[in-house]
Structure 1
Amino acid sequence: MNITGMKFCERCRKKEADVVLSTVRFCEPCFIEYFERQVQRAIDGEKLGAEMFSRDSRILMAVSGGKDSMTLWNVLNDLGYETCGLHIDLNIDEYSEVSRRVVENFAASKSLDLIVVDLRKEYGKSLMELAMRDACSACGLVKRYLMNKVAYEKGFSVLATGHTLDDECVTLLGNLTRWNLEFLQRQYPILESTHPKLVRKVKPLFRISDEETAAYARIKRLEFVREKCPLASGATSLSYKKVLNELEQRHPSLKKAFYLGFLKNKSLFGKEENFELKTCESCGMPTANVGLCAFCKLLERPKRRHDEKSKVKPLSI
């Protein structure tokens, strides 16, 4: 066999490299072994001071239908953890229909439990009907609220999300450019519960790049939604991601050094302030606000505006 010019896996040095990343080459078996090991290191809490969850934990896995969340759900299942998927149908036209179908098909193929929350059926409005101006902010608010609410009410011990190294770098860069110390103090792969109704949140993919999740999804032949959310166009996070990708091309491993360096030196940004969370007067879930939580205010806002319009008297001519 002519092996001139053939590039071998840098791990086993026996098979031809099928996965070529910006910094290393793998054959497919070695890449999957590497990928699972990185996720397991995150779960075990290596250099974090605490493990994310144990084999006995009941894990609620937030799945949007995108590459990263589908990858995490698959790898947790392959590693033998007990998971139940949670999909939030935001009723964003065809995009939400396709996303929901992808998640339901995966759950059925693996015989995994799945909880679906349909925003319009549960609360009478789609995301676009709830959002007044910034749909992305409203989306984040709705997802955070519903993920925690379902996790708490269904008795899960931990909520896992598919945030990758790239996502964490984008968030970190955004917080640094605005010097949001409160968010910098709170950004971490493990967010502990600070209220009886607040479930612990973890990000097992914080060591994994988007490039790596794409390779994993390809090898495992995972179905996922390839289109970007139609509401995300023009989001500031996309600009940050573009800048970081350009820097990574010039300086491989910069993203990992950036984020892991932040975790190592997180104390420089001060200690997170301990403030007592309150309880929403309407839904009973935890909130930083007095009275209604942000989600309940979002539900009430369109109604209030409609009520105010209905009270306006016609002008006399």
Structure 2
Amino acid sequence: MRRFGRTMVTTALAVAVVGGTAGWASGDSQTAVTGPPPGTAAWRADTASGRPLPDPATASPHEVARFFAGLDHAARRELVRSHPLVVGNLEGAPVGLRYEANRIAVTATGEARYASLAAPDRQILAFDPRGRGQVAEVFGDPERAEHVSVIVPGSDNDATTHDARRKPHTGPAGMARSLRSATGGSSAVIAWTGYTTPVGVGLDAADGRLAEAGATRLARFTAGLDAVGAPDPALFCHSYGSVVCGLAARYTDATDIVAYGSPGMRADTAAALRTGARVWAARGPSDWIADVPNVAFAGIGHGADPTSAAFGARRVPAADVRGHAGYFTPGTQSLAAFAAIATGDAR
């Protein structure tokens, strides 16, 4: 009974810390965007050269890749023109075709907040305007690069904030640019804001509901990379994004999974993630995430600290990291270590 009481007290503390001064604002609760993209009904009703189109909800990325391999140039372009939102989000579709489709889809929204994503130099691999918007942006060439990394961000990221440049090297796109630069451009890096993230600090950030939905999307995204011939990726998972990666770990073919600024990965140990990937963890000395108790009770909290010796992850040096989002700052130990992981040189 005494042990149960201690657990309840610890859980209450976790709720208080994660809730912060904002409290449990029910208005901030997010509805996870799931399922196939807008336009799927029209896609299902269409054909290409008399052939039915692969169902975005049920066809595997490898089935999608085989379908597009059997189409000629004209048929592919017609699908892009008629169904840009579906083609742009269809895992297994040719990468270049998805860039083209998403440029059309972004422009078609007519929304100023997305306009910059349609610029000719942007390589948008996924764009979904539902909810707060989701986006995946590529830096480099994932089909020809020797290595590919995927940035999986945490709370407060969406299609409009993923490339906010007020604080360089902190948002998903900023982290991706910094990592690619640190590898000398030898690794393609994808900023994957491909799930509904929590907003602020509240119940969404303390439970696993959004992470579970995100894990399904992340696993399918990595399967899509495999289907187009990209190398197995290294996943760099920040804050709540590490919860997503922890839940997706057993379903991906990642070579490495890096949790930094993590509240926990919903596993007691690295071995419990049931992945063949090498698991790494980093936490800077001034990262406020250290104040969040590592508990899991009644669905609240994300479990063990990935940087603890008992968890069993490989430690990434981070003594010079400032704050919760400074891990990709040029010159830091963490960025140098991340670059070595991204290029396969870390041991």
Q: TM-score range by the shorter chain?
A: under 0.3
Using the size of structure 2 for normalisation, the TM-score is 0.26
Using the size of structure 1 for normalisation, the TM-score is 0.28
Larger radius of gyration: 1
Structure number with higher helix proportion? 1
